[in-house]
């Protein structure tokens, strides 16, 4: 009898605990629906992609109400997709303050990875990081030569891999894209050649693959409270160790980079990269060691991951639709140029519109819930949000909504952006302000690496279509991973060298 009473007590206590953990707080807005909690947890037992989940359970309520209550990362949040609500939210950073995992779940593995940095901080900390780093992230004169060199080596590796496995077989491109994206980022931001393209399996690059697998494990993603118990969960202990290894290795590689040690003269101001600005701020005591490390890691991560994702989507889209690839190739070959500069690239309308459309249909940062309301606010004059509510956005949702983009919203049509580069970029800016195009976010917390990302994408696409033609094996289908990252990662691609490839060597200056 005593055992039964004890057992009943334990079950009861657990039930109360679970109820308190999972119930929707009563002060959350009543005029928007809640997505059933099991939808957020589907990743635990199903391999459905996030795109499929969105279409089946989120699209309808979000398109009708513009916002929903949703369980994510261990709590109830508000997810917003109506353009008017989005621009209201993003415009008011003073009310909806950035608060990343370092605030939300400071004990977690992800927080140990990213720390307090320029992307997830708010107020004085953000102003401090921005004052140090912005000039290096938003340079108007990025040297395009190292990006071109890395793009060439990237295409060489794709062709050599194809040669090795035989013309009729496809292969996975994501691992090679990752090596390219890290190498290009190192040259443009960190004054270092990580040599990932020259040396497969460089530890810093291998760690990235492990980190990406670790961070998006559905169980810990949905219940980050489990990260508090690494002594129970061995895999979390390993995860913390991996994050530490990455931080220490990156710090060591960058601080002791050969170029820095061999340099006799200080870097000229016009040639300074973000890492030079950060090192100076560290030496002068403007930022401390911890702030330096967190921002170093976030530059490394954000400046390669997003272009890596976009390149994956690009290989998928253009490899499945040869008309688009041919049209782009015709534009590139018509330039007669084999050594493009940023001026050459910025004059190409189809290349520009294609990248805008890739970012619309396949936004690499697809969903973020990393803002918290600092005071009560009526979003769009309609949704009462209490103080302390976590809010976020979903980019594929708004960018594929017919209300925002018309009947063809879900089709890939680069031409929708216009046919002159200035007109295309002006449309991108207009749609951003209206909250319909948020691939780089909007207002004062918009992406500071946008200019660089566009340059890198244009350069590598120019080199690719000029030298190779690629096709996707039709057995593959597109799928979003549970981390929300677009992942046509499993698709195999076949490459064919084109005649125009031969022009390459003659023209290298």
Binding site for ligand HEM (CB under 6 A): 118-119, 130, 137, 189, 299, 302-303, 306-307, 310, 364-365, 368, 370, 439-441, 445, 447-449, 452-453
Continuous segment of H or E residues that includes residue 206: helix 203-215
Query: Shortest gap between Cβ of 185 and ligand HEM (angstroms)?
Result: 7
If the CB atoms of residues 298 and 328 are measured against ligand HEM, the closer one turns out to be 298
Query: Shortest gap between Cβ of 361 and ligand HEM (angstroms)?
Result: 12
E strands in 240-285: none
Q: Which of 444, 404, 449 is nearest to 91 (CA)?
A: 444
If the CB atoms of residues 64 and 446 are measured against ligand HEM, the closer one turns out to be 446
Query: Shortest gap between Cβ of 138 and ligand HEM (angstroms)?
Result: 9
If the CB atoms of residues 312 and 320 are measured against ligand HEM, the closer one turns out to be 312
Quickly count helices (H) and strands (E) in the chain. 24, 10
If the CB atoms of residues 196 and 368 are measured against ligand HEM, the closer one turns out to be 368
If the CB atoms of residues 77 and 307 are measured against ligand HEM, the closer one turns out to be 307
Query: Shortest gap between Cβ of 463 and ligand HEM (angstroms)?
Result: 17
Query: Shortest gap between Cβ of 306 and ligand HEM (angstroms)?
Result: 3
Place of tokens 């000029």: 466
Map 443-483 to HEC letters: HHHCCCCHHHHHHHHHHHHHHHHHHEEEEECCCCCCCECCC
Query: Shortest gap between Cβ of 80 and ligand HEM (angstroms)?
Result: 12
C-alpha–C-alpha distance, residues 177 and 308, integer Å: 6
Instruction: Tell me the residue number closest to ligand HEM, measured at CB.
Output: 449
From residue 486, how far is each of 56, 114, 121 by CA, in Å? 17, 21, 25
Q: Which of 298, 423, 445, 424 is nearest to 359 (CA)?
A: 424
DSSP secondary structure code for residue 247 in this structure: H
If the CB atoms of residues 320 and 441 are measured against ligand HEM, the closer one turns out to be 441
C-alpha–C-alpha distance, residues 39 and 56, integer Å: 10
Contacts of residue 56, Cβ cutoff 8 Å, sequence gap at least 6: none
Query: Shortest gap between Cβ of 96 and ligand HEM (angstroms)?
Result: 10
CB neighbours (10 Å) of residue 124?
A: 8
If the CB atoms of residues 138 and 161 are measured against ligand HEM, the closer one turns out to be 138
The three-state secondary structure class of 370 is: strand
Q: Is 447 annotated as a binding residue?
A: yes
| Residue numbering of the annotated binding site for heme | 447
Residue numbers in the known binding site are 447
């Amino acid at each position: 009898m005593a055992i039964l009473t004890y057992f009943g007590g334990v079950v009861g206590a657990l039930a109360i605990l679970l109820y308190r953990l999972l119930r929707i707080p009563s002060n959350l807005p009543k005029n928007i629906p809640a997505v059933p909690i099991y939808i957020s947890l589907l990743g635990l037992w199903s391999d459905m992609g996030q795109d499929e989940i969105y279409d089946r359970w989120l699209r309808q309520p979000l398109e009708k109400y513009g916002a929903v209550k949703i369980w994510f990362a261990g709590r109830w949040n508000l997810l917003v997709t109506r353009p008017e609500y989005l621009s209201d939210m993003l415009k008011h950073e003073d009310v909806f303050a950035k608060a990343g995992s370092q605030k939300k779940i400071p004990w977690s593995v992800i927080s140990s990875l990213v720390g307090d940095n320029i992307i997830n901080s708010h107020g004085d900390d953000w102003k401090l990081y921005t004052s140090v780093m912005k000039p290096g992230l938003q340079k108007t004169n990025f040297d395009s030569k190292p990006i071109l060199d890395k793009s060439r080596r990237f295409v060489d590796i794709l062709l050599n891999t194809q040669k090795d496995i035989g013309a009729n077989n496809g292969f996975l491109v994501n691992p090679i894209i990752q090596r390219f994206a890290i190498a290009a980022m190192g040259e443009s931001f960190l004054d270092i050649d990580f040599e990932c393209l020259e040396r497969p399996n460089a530890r810093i690059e291998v760690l990235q693959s492990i980190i990406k697998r670790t961070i998006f494990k559905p169980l810990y993603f949905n219940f980050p409270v489990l990260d508090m118990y690494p002594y129970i969960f061995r895999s979390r202990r390993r995860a913390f160790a991996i994050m530490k290894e990455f931080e220490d290795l990156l710090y060591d590689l960058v601080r002791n980079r050969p170029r820095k040690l061999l340099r006799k003269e200080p870097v000229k101001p016009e040639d300074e990269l973000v890492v030079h600005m950060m090192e100076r701020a560290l030496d002068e005591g403007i930022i401390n060691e911890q702030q330096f490390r967190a921002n170093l890691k976030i530059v490394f991560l954000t400046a390669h991951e997003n272009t890596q994702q976009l390149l994956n989507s690009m290989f998928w889209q253009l490899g499945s639709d040869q008309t688009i690839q041919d049209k782009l190739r015709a534009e590139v070959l018509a330039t007669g140029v084999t050594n493009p500069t940023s001026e050459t690239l910025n004059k190409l309308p189809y290349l520009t519109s294609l990248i805008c459309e890739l970012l619309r249909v396949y936004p690499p940062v697809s969903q973020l819930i990393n803002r918290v309301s600092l005071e009560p606010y009526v979003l769009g004059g309609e949704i009462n949000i209490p103080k302390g509510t976590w809010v976020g956005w979903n980019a594929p949702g708004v960018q594929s909504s017919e209300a925002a983009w018309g009947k063809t919203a879900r089709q890939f049509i680069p031409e929708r952006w216009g046919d002159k580069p200035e007109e295309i970029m002006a449309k991108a800016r207009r749609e951003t302000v209206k909250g319909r195009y948020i691939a780089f976010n909007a207002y004062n917390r918009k992406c500071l690496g946008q200019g660089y990302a566009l340059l890198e994408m244009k350069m590598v696409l120019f080199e690719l279509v000029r030298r190779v033609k690629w096709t996707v094996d039709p057995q593959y289908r597109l799928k979003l991973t549970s981390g929300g990252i677009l992942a046509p990662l499993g698709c195999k691609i076949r490459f064919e060298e084109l005649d125009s490839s031969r022009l390459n060597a003659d023209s290298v200056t």
